[in-house]
């Protein structure tokens, strides 16, 4: 319980640090730490498979991709000085506050939405009562896999995984097409 709270606290600190840092390489490094802390948190929430994937893919591959992109572009965030001068400076100052207002409003609406939700770790939550008991009871006799997550991923929801592979394939082709260098003579 206390560990959960400490982890959540550090996750939020990492997110704020990562967003506010001017040095993009540092920002990406902190994002890696953020992903790893997230994996720890998910281990605490009993989702070992997801934590493993996040530690490998989220903290590993995403960080590598971001660093690779930084090495091909520019390491530092440019100054927020906007090149276009405005006739009314106070108008630009107000315009900078608009994103903050939008974020606050969205957050308030989401928090209002949580008031109707079942409490955290409630065993009688509707999400835990519908189809999940079937998977837990039947996956061993029907698929023979003692890991229920594997059973659902590869058997009951196999088409999801097929779609996932399609997405990765499409993304790979997109990256190849975008980063291909053409040589004109």
Q: Is 15 in the site for other proteins (CB under 8 A)?
A: yes
The C-alpha atoms of residue 143 and residue 136 are separated, in whole angstroms, by 11
The C-alpha atoms of residue 157 and residue 151 are separated, in whole angstroms, by 9
The C-alpha atoms of residue 162 and residue 160 are separated, in whole angstroms, by 5
Q: Is 6 in the site for other proteins (CB under 8 A)?
A: no
Q: Which residues pair with 23 in a beta bridge?
A: 76
Which one of 3, 6, 23, 61 is in contact with other proteins (CB under 8 A)? 61
Indicate the helix (H) or strand (E) that contains 99: helix 89-114
By beta-carbon proximity to other proteins, the closer residue of 3 and 45 is 45
Q: Is 117 in the site for other proteins (CB under 8 A)?
A: yes
Residues in region 134-163 near other proteins by CB under 8 A: 135-137, 140-141, 146-149, 152-153, 157, 160-161, 163
Which one of 2, 89, 100, 182 is in contact with other proteins (CB under 8 A)? 100
Task: Dig out the tokens for 179 from the structure.
Answer: 């980063």
Q: Is 183 in the site for other proteins (CB under 8 A)?
A: no
Q: Is 125 in the site for other proteins (CB under 8 A)?
A: yes
Q: Is 3 in the site for other proteins (CB under 8 A)?
A: no
By beta-carbon proximity to other proteins, the closer residue of 88 and 167 is 167
Q: In sequence order, what are the residues at sequence separation of 6 or more whose Cβ sits closer than 8 angstroms to the Cβ of residue 66?
A: 28, 31
Q: In sequence order, what are the residues at sequence separation of 6 or more whose Cβ sits closer than 8 angstroms to the Cβ of residue 32?
A: 59, 62, 63
Which one of 2, 89, 123, 183 is in contact with other proteins (CB under 8 A)? 123
């Amino acid at each position: 319980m206390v560990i959960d709270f400490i982890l959540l606290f550090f996750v939020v600190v990492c997110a704020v640090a990562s967003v506010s840092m001017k040095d993009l390489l540092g920002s990406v490094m902190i994002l890696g730490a953020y992903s790893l802390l997230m994996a720890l948190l998910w281990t605490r929430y009993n989702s070992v498979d997801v934590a493993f994937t996040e530690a490998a893919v989220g903290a590993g591959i995403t960080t590598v991709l971001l660093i690779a992109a930084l090495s091909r572009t520019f390491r530092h965030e440019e100054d927020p000085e906007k090149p276009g001068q405005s006739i009314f400076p106070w108008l630009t100052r107000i315009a900078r506050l608009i994103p903050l207002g939008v974020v606050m409003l969205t957050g308030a609406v989401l928090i209002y939405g949580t008031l109707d939700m079942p409490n955290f770790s409630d065993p009688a939550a509707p999400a835990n009562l519908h189809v999940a008991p079937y998977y837990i009871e039947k996956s061993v006799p029907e698929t023979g896999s003692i890991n229920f997550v594997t059973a659902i991923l590869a058997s009951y929801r196999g088409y999801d995984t097929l779609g996932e592979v399609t997405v990765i394939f499409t993304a790979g082709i997109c990256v190849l097409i975008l980063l291909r260098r053409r040589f004109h003579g």
